[in-house]
Amino acid sequence: MQEARAALEAGKTTSRALIERCLAAIEAPDGEGARTFTRVYAAQARASADAMDALRRAGRAPGPYAGIPVSLKDLLDVAGEPTPAGSLVLAHAPPAQAHAPVVQRLLAAGLVPVGRTNMTEFAFSGVGINPHHGTPRAPYGRLADGAGRVPGGSSSGAAVSVSDGMALAAIGTDTGGSCRIPAAFCGVVGYKPTARRIPLTGLIPLSPSLDSVGPLARSVEDCAVMDAILAGIPLPSLRRIAPAGLRLVYPANIDPDTLDAPTERAMDRALQRLDRAGVVIVHKNLPSLDMLVAAHARGGFAVVESYAWHRTLLADHAALYDPRVANRIFPGARMEAADYVALVEARARVVAAFADDMAPFDALVMPTVPIAPPPIAAFDAEADYVRLNAAILRLPSQINFVDGCAISLPCHEPGAPPAGLTLAASSLSDARLFQIAAALERIVQGK
């Protein structure tokens, strides 16, 4: 985004040229566009780009990023269209009466949506498989015969739209890692904000207690810009801070045996580079994370809150759901009101404990996902789907429950299986976390 902004300001390119480049990538016959987008706004994007170019020539561009192409996750309301959320059951639902606030903020800043991106149906999985619209393949391990690896979910199309040059940034949502997991699997940057900073109205919910809206892009700075636009705050100035002396905590709660070999190698290299740069890394057990198992003893927010939203639709149209999604929602019917109240109370205790755990440190550091993206075929059997999905969600979902903010940075070597390094902090530490991530981004990537 930064190069595109500079080129637009210098008159070296136009918004129309940027849009045409993205649309060409979407329409490439050997590309992932058909699986990445559920709807493409070709005509609208071209018209919007021409308008932004005219406004820029007249000195009236609505913002410095006016004319930049972005993608929108399929669960965000766009006025005049249904909001299917990757499903069939809502494909012909009544059209949205207004844009979601985050969509309206993007448009007000002059950003140009190129389309709606594919996702796990109703955002209920960290895998990214969608049986209705196809599964966009992660960039790593694509084969000519169509085989490939999962992109991560639920913001699967969002990540692939950025990794494949179909958009310069993407808007996703994150309930248990759904921006960060696909970012890690697709080699881009993904951000989960403190949830209450960005409005959640105008989108299909998964779990209102845990949902957040966040960006995916090529760099920390791009994500910081997009986050500011979504939050309705001034564009950031990422003040340069020295990496030496920053204190990061690596949770000793993480079982090292859960990391596969490529992820372990990528993390070891990244941590060694940080150490050489003078970053202090403390391996320490965080009591707040040990509290999570007991907090979820009688169930979790996603299951019960999604069941509350879907129960009528499931009663009437269960056959239209992806069975893997429906099977995860149905158990929500069994949670009692007292159990839900206990869960809310337990979460409050965990959030407070996590803030205490983080007080001596600048940020938490850990793998975004403990494994590299598995082949799509590895999820054919239900038991394997359940096992691998749980492994993918295990680490990133912790940050949603503790009401924190987190960013995933690519940390693998060129040509190696993709891996993401997470930096996380407690609630409302977003501005500081972006500064830390910007200071460490190139170090983590060995640049």
DSSP 178-196: TTHHHHHHHTSEEEE--GG
Locate tokens 């008159």: which residue?
Answer: 11
15 annotated active-site: no
Q: 155-194 burial, b if ≥16 CB within 10 A, otherwise e?
A: bbbbbbbbbbbbbbbbbbbbbbbbbbbbbbbbbbbbbbbb
3-state secondary structure of 444: helix
Which of the following is catalytic: 15, 48, 73, 408?
Answer: 73
DSSP-assigned beta bridge partners for residue 94: none
Cβ atoms of 155 and 216 within 8 Å: the answer is yes
Contact 134, 35 (CB under 8 A): yes
Spatial distance between the Cα atoms of 84 and 246, rounded to a whole number of angstroms: 44
CB–CB of 176/393 below 8 Å?
yes
Query: Is 138 within 8 Å of 148 (Cβ atoms)?
Result: yes
For this structure, is 73 an active site residue?
A: yes
Q: H/E element holding 2?
A: helix 2-10
Strand order of the sheet with strand 37-40? 37-40, 112-117, 69-73, 169-173, 213-217, 189-192, 405-410, 420-425, 363-367, 247-251, 280-284
State yes or no: is 178 an active-site residue.
Answer: yes
Q: Which amino acid is at 113?
A: P
Q: Which of 48, 87, 125, 154 is catalytic?
A: 154
Residue of 15, 178, 209, 429 marked catalytic: 178
Active site residues: 73, 154, 178
